[in-house]
Amino acid sequence: MRRQVGFTIIELVVVIALLGILAAVALPRFINVTEDAHNAAVKGAAGGLAAGVALAKAKAVVENAGDGDDIELEGGTVAVNGFGYPTGASGASPSLTNAQQCVDVWNNVLQGSRPVVSSAWPSTNPGSVDYVAQVNTAGVAQDCVYMYKRNNTHSPRMITYNALTGDVTATGVDY
């Protein structure tokens, strides 16, 4: 008599059950990879902006730039306030007064293939903008707030740049 070779139905059911359990455990982790990627993008942009602001401050100190003076950076020319922090494009007010100044700070401080920032949410092609800039001038605050829009949602992810202290913080991302 010839011996049969193969799987029994019980072995097959056990293997399918184990694969199902593994999929149920691993699938949520793989689904969350997209959120992790968005968080990493915001953290990276915030780090780049912080480094650019620090370099602008260092250059302003070296050049003894005063309130409203312009300094030349790799990305372009920026105006600085009395503390040496960027406040907009060349000739801009030494205090932040509008969202376009925040866009100019972003574009002139960051180099190369930086994320795209707009001063308004585009209605025709919202996927073309990574961040929407807003300015917060409440009280004595001089904050540029860059709202992350790449995932086409109104997520709480944002980068805040304080032109009085030079602080750059990312909020709404898991650390």
Strands 158-162 and 143-148: antiparallel
How far, in Å, are 71, 136, 152 from residue 75 at the CA level? 11, 24, 27
Per-residue pLDDT of the chain (175 residues; tens, 9 = 90+): 677 777 788 999 999 999 999 888 888 777 777 788 888 899 999 999 999 999 999 999 999 888 888 898 886 888 999 899 999 888 777 788 889 999 999 999 988 888 989 888 776 666 778 889 998 877 667 899 999 987 655 568 999 999 999 999 999 887 5
54-99 pLDDT, tens digit per residue, is 999 999 999 988 888 889 888 688 899 989 999 988 877 778 888 9
Domain boundaries, the chain: 9-171
The alpha carbon of residue 12 and the mean position of all alpha carbons in its chain are separated, in whole angstroms, by: 48
The DSSP code sequence of the chain is -PPP-S--HHHHHHHHHHHHHHHHHHHHHHHTHHHHHHHHHHHHHHHHHHHHHHHHHHHHHHTT--TT-EEE-SS-EEEE-TTS-EEEETT--SS--SHHHHHHHHHHHS-SSPPPEESS--SS-GGG-SEEEEEE-STT--EEEEEE-TTSS--S-EEEEETTT--EEEESS--
How far, in Å, are 65, 74, 107, 141 from residue 111 at the CA level? 22, 7, 7, 26
**pTM of this structure:** 0.78
The alpha carbon of residue 88 and the mean position of all alpha carbons in its chain are separated, in whole angstroms, by: 19
State the average pLDDT for the chain.
Answer: 85
Residues β-bridged to residue 144: 135, 161
Q: Provide the greatest CA pair distance for the chain.
A: 99
pLDDT at 58: 93
